[in-house]
Amino acid sequence: MTTDTAQVKAALRQQHIETPSWAYGNSGTRFKVFAQRGVPRSPQEKIDDAAQVHRYTGVAPSVALHIPWDRVDDYAALAAYARDRGVRLGAINSNVFQDDDYMLGSVTHPDQAVRRKALDHLLECVDIMDLTGSDTLKLWFSDGTNYPGQDDIRARQDRLAEALAAVYERLGDDQRFLLEYKLFEPAFYTMDVPDWGTAYAHCVKLGPKAQVVVDTGHHAPGTNIEFIVAFLLRERKLGGFDFNSRFYADDDLMVGAADPFQLFRIMHEVVKGGALSDRSSGPRVAFMLDQCHNIEPKIPAQIRSVMNVQEATAKALSVDAAALRKAQDAGDVLGANAVLMDAYNTDVRPLLAELRADMGLDPEPVAAYHRSGYFEKIAAERVGGQQAGWGA
Ligand code: RM4
Ligand code: MN
């Protein structure tokens, strides 16, 4: 490793990875949801679990909420609850995809009354941000059509633009929204925000408080995601990531599981784009997980995922930037590629273990969690009540 180790460690300490409240609840496929023991029954219990992930990794200090899944009467009290457990509330994720009214869309629905209802929900999410102190609203729309001719593609873009403008208008000075795109599902013919270009165009029109979020599972197979990342960073329009891994579609599996090399290539662009350095001066790129754990225990899976992001980041930080530039400038194709591959092939686990020791943490977070007895405790305590899951 030619880059100074102390610098790499300092950068890794600064990278915060946000975990999603829904990762701690039950999830599955449309075929079956397997309930697990010890699953949270309330937003507070989800926060308790998120606090465990931070406790063993030291770099996951915030938890994203999904509304209405995490609806409470007193959001300021929930924020205080999180603070008492050493974490804070992160991005607010809106949900306009689970109400019967939204069968034909939410903000792009042909019926004005449904559009109003959807917009009111998005505005309510900003009200919640005011109470929790969250600065980021995540907008994902399941809106789209299934059949050619079903609705007017352009009219739906107009309706989308109108809703986004209304939300943008409502944002406070320190708040922003991140617009998420997804290639297909649940709609199969057209999605109203299918790709980064569509999201980018809407965001550019609105201004700096509108940015794009890249969910790594929302692309066609073979898409060069690091190109999208490089482009958006250059335009200062990359607001954050929803990290997960995919083999086929929107699998929502643990980040870095299917293709750790892709994650490294993405993080290389992030490092090059200055998005890891001092967050107060650099771009505010949020590193969020958007995952579900259908068959694996949830808390260790989140810990593992945070570690996977850290490993890819550590490798990206190990790239010998000067050697890479030299090879690139010289047109040395093989040499440049070799510099990148050397970094990818570096075993960064000893460095990360050392970093954790420096931070007063156990070098092996998953093992430390298992030894703690937390799972046995929640499995015994969390009996009865309604376990959290999609829609709960
Ligand atoms: C969507 C999208 C959103 C997430 C929901 C649960 O596919 O990825 O970001 O909030 O799922
Ligand atoms: Mn997502």
Q: How close is the Cα of 231 to the center of ligand 2, in Å?
A: 20
Q: What is the atom index within ligand 1 of the atom nearest the CA of 217?
A: 8
Q: How close is the Cα of 181 to the center of ligand 2, in Å?
A: 8
Q: How close is the Cα of 315 to the center of ligand 2, in Å?
A: 25
Q: What is the atom index within ligand 1 of the atom nearest the CA of 22?
A: 6
Residue nearest to atom 3 of ligand 1 (CA): 140
Task: Give the whole-angstrom CA distance, residue 250 versus residue 17.
Answer: 20
Q: What is the atom index within ligand 1 of the atom nearest the CA of 138?
A: 9
Q: How close is the Cα of 143 to the center of ligand 1, in Å?
A: 13
Residue nearest to atom 1 of ligand 1 (CA): 140
Q: How close is the Cα of 20 to the center of ligand 2, in Å?
A: 10
**pLDDT value for 390:** 78
Mutate to test the pocket of ligand 1, among 66, 93, 288 (most ligand atoms within 8 A of CB): 93
Q: Which residues form the pocket of ligand 1, taking CB atoms under 6 Å from any ligand atom?
A: 22, 66, 93, 138, 140, 180, 215, 242, 250, 290
Q: How close is the Cα of 276 to the center of ligand 2, in Å?
A: 21
**Which residues, given as ranges, of the chain have pLDDT below 50?**
1-2, 392
Q: Which ligand is nearest to the CA of 20?
A: 1
Q: How close is the Cα of 261 to the center of ligand 2, in Å?
A: 21
**pLDDT value for 248:** 96
**pLDDT value for 392:** 45
Q: Which ligand is nearest to the CA of 66?
A: 1
Q: How close is the Cα of 69 to the center of ligand 1, in Å?
A: 12
Mutate to test the pocket of ligand 1, among 141, 214, 290 (most ligand atoms within 8 A of CB): 290
Q: What is the atom index within ligand 1 of the atom nearest the CA of 66?
A: 10
Residue nearest to atom 2 of ligand 1 (CA): 140
> Residue with structure tokens 């047109």?
331
Q: What is the atom index within ligand 1 of the atom nearest the CA of 250?
A: 7
**pLDDT value for 280:** 60
**pLDDT value for 4:** 87
Q: How close is the Cα of 362 to the center of ligand 2, in Å?
A: 30
**pLDDT value for 278:** 55
Residue nearest to atom 10 of ligand 1 (CA): 93
pTM of the model: 0.97
